Structure 1
Amino acid sequence: METPTAAFADRSVLVTGGGSGIGLGIARALLADGAHVTICGRSADRLSTAAEKLTATDVFAAGGSVSTVAADVTDESDVERAVARAVETTGRLDGVVACAGGNETMAPVTQLDTAAWRRTVDLNITGTMLTIKHGARALVAAGGGSIVAISSIAASNTHRWFGAYGVSKSGVDHLVRLAADELGASRVRVNGIRPGLTRTDLVALITDGGPVLDDYMASTPLGRVGEVEDIAGLAKFLLGPESTWITGQVVNVDGGQMLRRGPDFSSMLEQVYGTDGLRGVMPR
């Protein structure tokens, strides 16, 4: 095989949450440009399946590689191990994508499950912090690099009844700016992406159609659902050589929805909590 000439040739990138959805899409885009990508997630089986899917495509034409490491981003020793595994690939780390996240709280604020709130905050904020903490150590040791954290439009626009999700993603946004300010002196850039509604298995209940999707489209100027490639394109740019003077930015990739409002989930949640429940009335 000829020596790769792609933009990410010989570069090593760690992608947390890389076993599916947006994380997997970012991994695929980086591989297509020659990167050596380590995908990280809690499920070894899911990671194995993801790696098989990537191997079955032509993304390795540019000379990259994919490896996997099962790790929970809320466990600091797991994160350290994942970073070390990514460094092993080439002897250094050049980029980090903090994509692992989720939400266990979707309820009126008066009925939020406190334990689920704490788990969501721990996953989204602490997990991102640990990924940046240990990823940045490796990037600094290598002389610099780039970190991209995946946030959400729920951080910039209120999403009623989303509980801890938007709140914790707002925390991710501030963490991006804080880390960018601190790490710039070591030539480490830190930026974030706020995806809007993006077609993945996790949101198929919405993207398959219905009143919630209709409301999303009514509040989205470009009038379509996002694709993982939309997010991956910006992530690759922020990790790559074209963005070396960009840091501390959090960019919405949402079809313009940030110009309007968050979605209306009342058609789904009224069935569970009732009209009064959605406005904070507790059941008797």
Structure 2
Amino acid sequence: MTRADLPLRDTVALVTGGGSGIGLGCARRFAADGAHVLIAGRSADRLRGAVAELEKDAANGARIAYAVTDVTDEDQVRAAVARAAELGPLRAVVASAGGNSTMGPLTSIDTAKWRETVELNLTGTMLVLKHTARLMAAAGGGSFVAISSIASSTTHRWFGAYGVSKAGIDHLVRLAADELGASGVRVNSILPGLVATEMVDAVTRGGPVLDDYLECTPLGRVGRADDIAALAAFLVGPESTWITGQNINVDGGHHLRRGPDFRAFLEPVFGADGLRGIVAEGN
């Protein structure tokens, strides 16, 4: 591929959660497509390793940088956005930082961990949107992609705050798309199904939960970070300029069936009664 063929040539992109998993996959695709990329995350060591990896696959001339960032800290988000802007006018953003601390039945949920998960997934995405959209709107446009989850729209029993917070992201995307369209800023979300990353290694290495995921997935395989990155590259690229306010499933068709059954992991911890909402007295 020659430089003239690179669809993101000289685009400046910010990817949160860019040190691993889906975020790293998006950053790798953007850099290979010619973008200058800043990755943000909480671990300096992981980010440095990711930068070295990205530089191997980046197109000639693409610059790679990083910023240690907790997306729940507005000052750190503001600083990361300013650092990205040093590479040039910011045009592309992927908000991939996220996680879940609340696996288990709602009647046994740790309220502090519920708040922690909502803060990371939903408030963190909002803060990244708030500060990147300002720059993109002032510059005449850009594209913001939030990484949501199939759990936002298809019930995943015992996922606690995760699906709830991801559903909030999908609504945030639609709201932002409506508000920011007048400034040429497009806002969409991607809803991945089960993707092979470190976060879900306990599932993807095999067992009854993985078997159930595959049973619920028409295309019959686990996703790859590259599957998500391909859509993210399209959504920030030149061929999607009339697409905004969309929540798009990339899940092998899993959303057509039902959420996964995590009973094999959770019943030994909470008991069969606990999974149906019965809590022992005093707990």
Whole-Å Cα distance in 1 between the matches of residues 250 and 133 of structure 2? 25
CA contact (8 A) 1:196 1:253 kept: yes
Is 1:13–2:13 an aligned residue pair? yes
Write out the 4+ residue segments of structure 1 that deviate beyond 3 Å after TM superposition.
Answer: 2-5
Give the one of 265, 269, 283 matched to 1:268: 265
CA contact (8 A) 1:13 1:86 kept: yes
* 1:228-278 alpha-carbon deviations (Å, 9 max, x no partner): 000000000000000000000010000001000000000110110110110
CA contact (8 A) 2:34 2:61 kept: yes
Q: Which runs of 5+ in 1 are unaligned?
A: none
Secondary structure in 1 matching 2:203 = helix
TM-score w.r.t. length of structure 1: 0.97
Secondary structure in 1 matching 2:186 = strand
Secondary structure in 2 matching 1:104 = coil
Secondary structure in 1 matching 2:7 = coil
CA contact (8 A) 2:14 2:94 kept: yes
| Amino acid in structure 1 at the alignment position of 2:184 | R
Range with greater deviation from structure 2 (14-23 or 62-71): 62-71
CA contact (8 A) 1:180 1:190 kept: yes
Residue aligning to 2:219: 222
Secondary structure in 2 matching 1:97 = strand
- TM superposition shift of 1:4: 5.3
Residue aligning to 2:159: 162
| Amino acid in structure 1 at the alignment position of 2:71 | V
Whole-Å Cα distance in 2 between the matches of residues 176 and 62 of structure 1? 33
CA contact (8 A) 1:145 1:189 kept: yes
CA contact (8 A) 1:4 1:63 kept: no
Q: For 1:241-280, what aligned pairs fall within 5 Å after superposition?
A: 241-280=238-277
Q: Give the % identical residues.
A: 64
| Amino acid in structure 2 at the alignment position of 1:133 | K
Give the one of 74, 88, 92 matched to 1:95: 92
Secondary structure in 2 matching 1:61 = coil
CA contact (8 A) 2:3 2:34 kept: no
Number of residue pairs matched?
280
- TM superposition shift of 1:143: 1.1
- TM superposition shift of 1:146: 0.3
- TM superposition shift of 1:5: 4.5
- TM superposition shift of 1:6: 1.1
CA contact (8 A) 2:174 2:246 kept: yes
Whole-Å Cα distance in 2 between the matches of residues 238 and 262 of structure 1? 26
Secondary structure in 1 matching 2:100 = coil
TM-score w.r.t. length of structure 2: 0.97
| Amino acid in structure 2 at the alignment position of 1:18 | G
| Amino acid in structure 1 at the alignment position of 2:87 | T
* 1:98-157 alpha-carbon deviations (Å, 9 max, x no partner): 111110001111000000000100111100000000010011122100000000000010
Residue aligning to 1:25: 25
Range with greater deviation from structure 2 (233-242 or 45-54): 45-54
Is 1:283–2:280 an aligned residue pair? yes
Q: For 1:31-70, what aligned pairs fall within 5 Å after superposition?
A: 31-55=31-55, 57=56, 59-70=57-68
Secondary structure in 2 matching 1:51 = helix
| Amino acid in structure 1 at the alignment position of 2:84 | A
Residue aligning to 2:196: 199
* 1:48-88 alpha-carbon deviations (Å, 9 max, x no partner): 11111222x2x223431210000111111111111100000
RMSD (CA atoms)? 1.0
- TM superposition shift of 1:205: 0.7
Residue aligning to 2:82: 84
CA contact (8 A) 2:28 2:58 kept: no
Residue aligning to 1:231: 228
* 1:12-36 alpha-carbon deviations (Å, 9 max, x no partner): 0000000000000000000001000
Is 1:177–2:174 an aligned residue pair? yes
Q: Which runs of 5+ in 2 are unaligned?
A: none
Whole-Å Cα distance in 1 between the matches of residues 118 and 58 of structure 2? 36
* CA 1:95–1:267: 2 relative to 1, 3 Å: same
